[in-house]
Structure 1
């Protein structure tokens, strides 16, 4: 898949210089996407663009009655924050190029930090969210905020590529690590916890726990419905 097949389209100007980019792609589990969706719903984010590729599934997502692309960009200029969110489970083959596109987006808008998340399976795992920082500055931020560090891990997908590519391009990347929950509500639980932890990294991000918990329920329903619908569409298209 050629790098040029991934294209970011911005439909209006915005200023997030010195701010943050939040990776809200769906991975193994939905907690990261739930957290990103909850952020959008509980703060004043506006739709500013989308990411598309000729290789993405030919699917339109209807969001609050409005048709959109599968991967969308929302911005809150007061918070200097962009959220890139997808409810689709995209193939692992897209990870490197999507990570490159996110890094280029952050560089273009002079953002100081990219925040991502990943489920981490361990035989012995606490319920706490830990993190990986890819630069000395990112690790200092985690230490200052007293967010525990994960020192050894194999990091697949977009988060792994963001960490490595960001390290060698001097772009701070922090990946929040949440454990593999053992019950059906674990995505909701860790979606809310991720949202609160992101609130520690982004100054002035509203962190009303009751509101976040209410929105994570709505977000989970939306994400699961989207993924179910897209599976059904692909089954009909490809048999």
Structure 2
């Protein structure tokens, strides 16, 4: 069985602090949203995620090599993201390792950030956010912040598996998905999920840079989007992440 290891390298995250997580998937919504949150809040790097099945890629930041899947935190929040798509064979082991880590830390809430492909995204000025919770507590949280529950559909890939795994383990988790371009970096959709996170978690993250710098962000994310599309094809995600007809 493949192992995915979570390595803590810095100051240990505060126990029970909420976690936001976003991996490269539809429109890179989660990746863009979590990266923007990390940069805006100046979160410190406190760990990374490693697996022999991850691509042999090393990120370079500030002139230093970094593992591509990293964990950041301050006293109030933990953020997890990756600069490479999660290989399909690593999704289940990654889910198991993260769920164990959340349980060990007694994480109060996990918020997964992502996108749901919308065929008419180009004509949508402000993407709507849908949500899925694993419990009545999560459903209540969604309702309190005006998030429409996704009642029916299929969620494939790392985000969907993580949602299910957390639910099975009793980890309070919600998945926020903004209407997004499928294979095109979508900072506008990322701004929508960050806005909801601001309200849910009491954050104050400015989303204007995501909208004002859309083109620069898209250019910078082109290569990651290309690799992510291949990863999504591996799990046949193009059909499975469509909004059900009731939401059309």
TM-score band w.r.t. shorter chain:
0.7 to 0.9
1:85 to partner: Cα distance: 1.0
- Identify which of 43, 52, 55 aligns with 2:53: 55
CA deviations over 1:139-173 (Å, ceiling 9, x no partner): 11111122111111101112221222222211111
1:235: which partner in 2?
none
Q: 1:188 matched to which residue of 2?
A: 187
Contact 1:16–1:110 (CA<8 Å) still a contact in 2?
A: no
**For structure 1, which segment, 35-44 or 94-103, has the greater mean C-alpha deviation from structure 2 after superposition?**
94-103
Q: Pick closer, same or farther for the CA change 1:177–1:196 going to 2, 3 Å.
A: same
- Contact 1:21–1:82 (CA<8 Å) still a contact in 2? yes
Does residue 83 (structure 1) correspond to residue 69 (structure 2)? The answer is no
Give the whole-Å Cα distance in 2 for the aligned partners of 1:136 and 1:161. Answer: 19
Alignment match, 1:17 = 15
Structure 2: runs of 5+ lacking an equivalent = 229-248
Asked if structure 1 preserves the Cα contact closer than 8 Å seen for 2:13 and 2:78, the reply is no
Checking the alignment, whether the CA contact within 8 Å between 1:191 and 1:216 is kept in structure 2 is no
Following TM superposition, by how much is the alpha carbon of 1:63 offset from its aligned partner in structure 2, in angstroms? 1.8
**228 and 139 in structure 1: CA distance in 2 versus 1, 3 angstrom threshold:** closer
Residue among 97, 104, 111 paired with 2:107 = 111
1:128 to 1:14, Cα distance in 2 relative to 1, 3 A:
same
Q: For the Cα contact (< 8 Å) 2:117–2:182, is it kept in 1?
A: no
Q: Deviations over 1:38-85 (max 9, x none)?
A: 0011003000111111111111110232210011111121x2x11111
State the secondary structure of the residue aligned to 1:97: helix
Q: 1:85 to 1:219 in 2, by over 3 A?
A: farther
Q: 1:38 aligns with which of 15, 36, 39?
A: 36
Residue number among 81, 91, 98 corresponding to 2:94 in the alignment: 98
1:105–1:224 Cα change, 3 Å: farther
Specify the SS of the correspondent of 1:141. helix
Q: Distance in 1 between matches of 2:62 and 2:186?
A: 22
Distance 1:164 1:17 in 2: 22
Paired with 2:164 and 2:208, the residues of 1 have a C-alpha distance of 36
Change over 3 Å in CA distance of 1:181–1:229 after alignment to 2:
closer
- Cα–Cα, structure 1 residues 65 and 17, in superposed 2: closer, same or farther, change >3 Å? same
* Equivalent position of 2:199 in the other structure: 200
Q: Give me the TM-score of the superposition, normalised by structure 1.
A: 0.83
Residue 192 of structure 1 contacts residue 216 of structure 1 at CA under 8 Å; is this kept in 2?
no
CA contact (8 A) 2:118 2:182 kept: no
Q: 2:26·2:116 contact (CA, 8 Å) conserved in 1?
A: no
Whole-Å separation in 1 of the counterparts to 2:204 and 2:112: 18
CA contact (8 A) 1:131 1:175 kept: yes
